[in-house]
Amino acid sequence: MNTDPNRRDFISASAGAVLAGSVLSGQANAAGKTGNLQLATFRFDVTPPMNHSLCGGWIKPVVGVDDPLEAIGYVLLGAGRPIVVCAVDWTGILNSAHLQWRTALADAAGTTIDRVAVQCVHQHNAPFACMDAEKIILEQGDLPHIVEPGFFRRCLDAGHKAVGAAIKRSVPVTHVATGEARVDQVAGNRRIIGLNGKVMSQRGSSSTKPEHHRFPEGLIDPMLKTVAFYSGKKKLVASHYYACHPMSYYGDGRVSADFCGLARRRREQQDPGCVHLYFNGCGGNIGAGKYNNGSKKARVELTQRMFQGMVESETELTPRPIESLAWETHDILPPLNPAFDEEQLMAGISNKKNRVVSRNRPSYTVAFIRRVKAKIPITLSSLHVNDVSVLHLPAECFVEYQFRAQAAAPNRFVACAAYGDGGPWYIPTRNAYPQGGYAVSVAWCAPQMDPLLSSGIQSMLPGA
């Protein structure tokens, strides 16, 4: 791993240097013995307080809570240093904020942050945490918070306590099972391509345009996948994976885990002896706009369809003894998109005549540019249990990366969780850049990110 001094300084500043030395050690991630595996589950509340910014500060702040936001995860012990996997009901966690989350959970579990995966579900009536962008906008003196530092620290403290307490309650984990089921009338490709080969329309998370409902779904992954862990016959954890933007409607200041989070919660209420997690797959170019008009009724319908997919996926679960378990990582340093210039962006941020969204949003770009210039890589990670591989990927990856991962290991059950370190924002495929469209306009990486990320994914898949 990179031992560049800039990286050490970055981790020290952003994460208190709790485990900086371990992060840089480059230790092997070989499989440990599986005869004494233990599993511990944890959860903690991450609901923002009243008046807190939502989605980076450019939509209505919190005026109420329709349902709480949670961070839910598990710790695997007994295969080398502990492994921590966590799903968070936030829009995103980026750059140094993501390092701080992983550091807090790693410290509580007694492990290193390269063995911690923190993935967001990406709801929009939720926090969008980038402490580097927060510092940039605070210097302006007149912009709303990206994320309030006090609230952010309270979440880290809650996570640390939750993981530490969970480990004391760990139980043997002996079996793994997988299942999948088709989810109907939820996902559709967001990018509608015209005859000229360019994006002619963005079909977002919701739409009232008849043509958006008429056009076909396009390229999606319709399958919801489930990976479950058991202690004997008792199901301990069921992790669900599906690629789609998880918003039915937002911008009203009403905090909600939205239809994917609501479906997960409903499944857990039906199956209270098991902890259920939901991970958003590579859904950067996937949304519900074909089937969602943004109404409250549509949220109920989308929730039911996701819930049904979870239930049907679990009917396939057949526990098998765990015979092997491994954790692998791969660091990449993303190439910067030359379309974005730090000096020009800062001039726009400082221009008080610009709208809030035109000032807050570029702060994320500047934060990422500075991160890459400081040579702070992004860590990809994967968990392999028998012939099951779960990939933990960054930001808003296009669904093509998910298909590539599955194709690279056709004899394995491959599930993808994107929306890890959200620093890059969107990660389109290389051929999507000349097509244009919204996602490309907010992709902080150059097209060369495609082969870099694809190669990293392939390196983590056994036999690929």
Residue range 327-356: average pLDDT? 97
CA distance 150 to 318: 45
pLDDT in tens, 3-44: 333 433 333 334 433 333 333 333 334 444 556 999 999 999
Residue range 213-235: average pLDDT? 97
At residue 17, the pLDDT reads 33
At residue 28, the pLDDT reads 36
Alpha helices (H) in 146-201, listed in sequence order = 149-167
Residue range 166-190: average pLDDT? 98
At residue 150, the pLDDT reads 97
CA distance 314 to 156: 32
- Inter-helix orientation angle 357-373/342-350, to 10°: 150
CA distance 376 to 331: 9
In a domain? residue 218 = no
**How many domains would you assign to the chain?**
1
In a domain? residue 292 = no
What DSSP element (H or E) covers 76?
Answer: strand 70-77
CB 202 within 8 A of CB 218: no
In a domain? residue 232 = no
Instruction: Write out the two tokens for 47.
Output: 């609901």
Residue range 227-238: average pLDDT? 98
Residue 201 Cα to chain centre, angstroms: 26
What DSSP element (H or E) covers 297?
Answer: helix 296-314
In a domain? residue 198 = no
At residue 463, the pLDDT reads 77
Q: Does residue 61 have a pLDDT over 60?
A: yes
Q: Does residue 234 have a pLDDT over 50?
A: yes
Range of the domain at 338: 5-21+37-175+247-257+265-283+323-459
Q: Looking at per-residue confidence, does 361 or 12 come out higher?
A: 361
At residue 35, the pLDDT reads 65
pLDDT in tens, 424-454: 999 999 999 999 999 999 999 999 999 999 9
pLDDT in tens, 144-155: 999 999 999 999
In a domain? residue 291 = no
Q: How confident is the model at residue 419 (pLDDT cuts 50, 70, 90)?
A: very high
Alpha helices (H) in 374-448, listed in sequence order = 399-408, 438-441
CA distance 27 to 95: 22
In a domain? residue 427 = yes
In a domain? residue 241 = no
Residue range 352-367: average pLDDT? 96
In a domain? residue 269 = yes
Residue range 246-266: average pLDDT? 98
Residue range 115-142: average pLDDT? 97
60-76 burial by CB neighbour count: b if 16+ within 10 A, else e? ebbeebeeebbbbbbbb
DSSP string, 230-265: EETTEEEEEEEEE-S---SS--SSEE--HHHHHHHH
Mean pLDDT of the chain: 93
Percentage of residues of the chain with pLDDT beyond 70 = 92
At residue 34, the pLDDT reads 58
